[in-house]
Structure 1
Amino acid sequence: MSPRESAARTGALVRHNLLLMLREPGPLLSRMILPLVFIVLLRPLYVAAQGRTAGTEQAVVGTVVTFSLLALSISGSAILTERLGRTWDRLRGAPLHPAEMLIGKAVPVFAAMLAQQLLIVGFAVCVLGLNVPHPLLLLAVLLSWSCALLGLGALLGVLARSMGELSAAYDIGGMLLSSLGGALVPLAVLPPWVADAAPISPGYWAVRGLHAALAGDTRTLAGACGVLLCVALVCDILTSVRLRGRSGRLVSL
């Protein structure tokens, strides 16, 4: 098995999964459009409470984190659909390495999640006047956060037993993690116990990293990105263990 052959198979899987995603664009479009509506409607409240600059920043950060957590549905459903359709076993019967299968599934989902976040930030810059003095720092946080989201979504996809169960997990879990992380309401105005518990939420580190990127605080940003990448790594390990479990089968509900 040469690297060129492996790359060709992986590329074919990426194109196939991208085509599957585009054939059912409804969930993807909703995750792209709803955040823009949300930020326009909610920004005046943040501006009234925190001032124009700080309020706009909070509205953007809160929208990015909240709606990207809700976009876990894109990652989770991509795997769960294969499990419910019993197609993972067929792919395993082909001359494919498990890593090729997972990469082929992950790349389109990662691109969709990153595109959602970039769309929100780009809209905020062009329409709401958000100042982004350090775009590379912001991109580093978005990439790290997207990796964490991809890992969390994949883990949900291998743990959930039905689409309804998956939907409940990302709806409830997404809102809980974003709220606990200070995305919707700053931690400073929440009860003290929320601030104490906030670091257990990946959303907290995403919020922290995004604020640090906009402020140019590289030290805080590096810490936040490190935690997010660790979350991604742990989720990937647990996902791989789960996929290899149950008598060595990838699909066993």
Structure 2
Amino acid sequence: MPRESAGSALRTTALVRHNALLLLREPGPLLSRMILPLVFIAILRPLYVSAQGDRAGTSQAVMGTLVTFSLLAMGTVGASLLTERLWHTWDRLRTTPTRPAELLLGKGLPVMAAMLTQQAAILAFGILVLRMPVADPPLLVLAVLSWTAALLGMGAALGVIARSFGELSAGYDIGGMLLSSLGGALVPLASMPAWIRAIAPASPGYWGVSALRAALHGSAADTLRACALLAAFAVAFGALAAYRAGRGGGRSAKL
């Protein structure tokens, strides 16, 4: 067992290193996902401040932008998985001792690092430049990690289900905006119809927004509850991705 565990760790490390290099070779998309949210915050903040006041308006602009743009960025892990499937390298990897979980970790961990960097940049801008108050920084870190884990699970599931880049793009563009809207990221749920407020808890975006806002206000109970539900989403979507990967879900992918 120790030898098998060591072999698994070596394979996963090699995959992580390889996929990190692939991301860094084309830094343009990563940089745009870090710069555009800051511009978005600068544009939206005056509107939220005029409607909600300085503190609440700033928090709404920063948290709403973080959730919306991180949802759009989750397609990065899906795109990396779909690329392997389209070029049939996924099937070749599956014939080696590499396990589905190792493949997903190798793809997911570099993307997780990129997404955490994106969110750290948004939060740093909000805290250092806009003076957004944070009541409990450790709770905020936990909320960001839980939200990112849920995003990785959703992105991986899309990556092994979609059969083309068109399907993948539709999935994370439409799905991202839908989950963001249902979560109350850009428009407070209190301003939405009652039926939207009723179904909002079914959206991971709702719990992402809830975890981040509760952490900003220092509410440990609400933050932990939201993080637990985000972890459940991460496990469920991650299990779906691993199942599909193990069953050879990439065989129906097409250019």
Choose which of 161, 164, 167 in structure 2 pairs with 1:165: 167
Quote the Cα distance in structure 2 between the aligned partners of 1:190 and 1:98. 41
Q: Which residue of 2 aligns with 1:193?
A: 195
Question: Per the alignment, do residues 213 and 149 of structure 1 end up closer, same or farther by CA in structure 2, a change over 3 Å counting?
Answer: same
Decide whether the 8 Å contact of 2:82 with 2:250 is kept in 1: no
Where 1:132 maps in the other structure, the secondary structure is coil
Choose which of 113, 116, 121 in structure 1 pairs with 2:115: 113
The alignment status of 1:252 with 2:251, answered yes or no, reads: yes
- Deviation per residue, 1:81-119 (Å, 9 max, x gap): 111111112222333233222211111011111111111
Quote the Cα distance in structure 2 between the aligned partners of 1:69 and 1:179. 11
The root-mean-square deviation of aligned C-alpha atoms, in Å, is 1.2
Quote the Cα distance in structure 2 between the aligned partners of 1:22 and 1:54. 36
Measured after TM superposition, the shift of residue 250 of structure 1 is 5.0
Quote the Cα distance in structure 1 between the aligned partners of 2:194 and 2:102. 46
Q: Which residue of 2 aligns with 1:184?
A: 186
Q: Which residue of 1 aligns with 2:26?
A: 24
Q: Which residue of 2 aligns with 1:12?
A: 14
- Deviation per residue, 1:195-236 (Å, 9 max, x gap): 111111111001111110011111111110011000011101
Decide whether the 8 Å contact of 1:27 with 1:74 is kept in 2: no
Deviation larger for 21-30 or 221-230:
21-30
* Residues 55-66 of structure 1 mapped to structure 2, 5 A cutoff: 55-66=57-68
Quote the Cα distance in structure 2 between the aligned partners of 1:242 and 1:100. 14
The alignment status of 1:48 with 2:47, answered yes or no, reads: no
Q: What TM-score results when the alignment is normalised by the length of structure 1? A: 0.95
Where 2:250 maps in the other structure, the secondary structure is coil
Quote the Cα distance in structure 2 between the aligned partners of 1:243 and 1:4. 22
Decide whether the 8 Å contact of 1:89 with 1:250 is kept in 2: no
Q: What TM-score results when the alignment is normalised by the length of structure 2? A: 0.94
Amino acid in structure 1 at the alignment position of 2:146: S
Question: Per the alignment, do residues 2 and 239 of structure 1 end up closer, same or farther by CA in structure 2, a change over 3 Å counting?
Answer: closer
Runs of 4+ in 1 over 6 A off after TM superposition: none
* Percent of aligned pairs with the same amino acid: 60
Measured after TM superposition, the shift of residue 6 of structure 1 is 2.5
Unaligned regions of 5+ residues in structure 2, if any? none
- Deviation per residue, 1:156-180 (Å, 9 max, x gap): 1011111111111111111111011
Quote the Cα distance in structure 2 between the aligned partners of 1:110 and 1:35. 17
Quote the Cα distance in structure 1 between the aligned partners of 2:161 and 2:4. 33
Amino acid in structure 2 at the alignment position of 1:48: S
Question: Per the alignment, do residues 82 and 41 of structure 1 end up closer, same or farther by CA in structure 2, a change over 3 Å counting?
Answer: same
Amino acid in structure 2 at the alignment position of 1:215: H
Amino acid in structure 1 at the alignment position of 2:185: A
Decide whether the 8 Å contact of 1:205 with 1:228 is kept in 2: yes
Unaligned regions of 5+ residues in structure 1, if any? none
Measured after TM superposition, the shift of residue 130 of structure 1 is 0.9
Q: Which residue of 2 aligns with 1:85?
A: 87
Quote the Cα distance in structure 2 between the aligned partners of 1:189 and 1:111. 34
Aligned length: 250
Question: Per the alignment, do residues 120 and 45 of structure 1 end up closer, same or farther by CA in structure 2, a change over 3 Å counting?
Answer: same
Quote the Cα distance in structure 1 between the aligned partners of 2:100 and 2:193. 46
Decide whether the 8 Å contact of 2:100 with 2:246 is kept in 1: no
Measured after TM superposition, the shift of residue 4 of structure 1 is 2.8
Q: Which residue of 2 aligns with 1:215?
A: 217
Amino acid in structure 2 at the alignment position of 1:3: S
Q: Which residue of 1 aligns with 2:237?
A: 235
Measured after TM superposition, the shift of residue 27 of structure 1 is 2.0
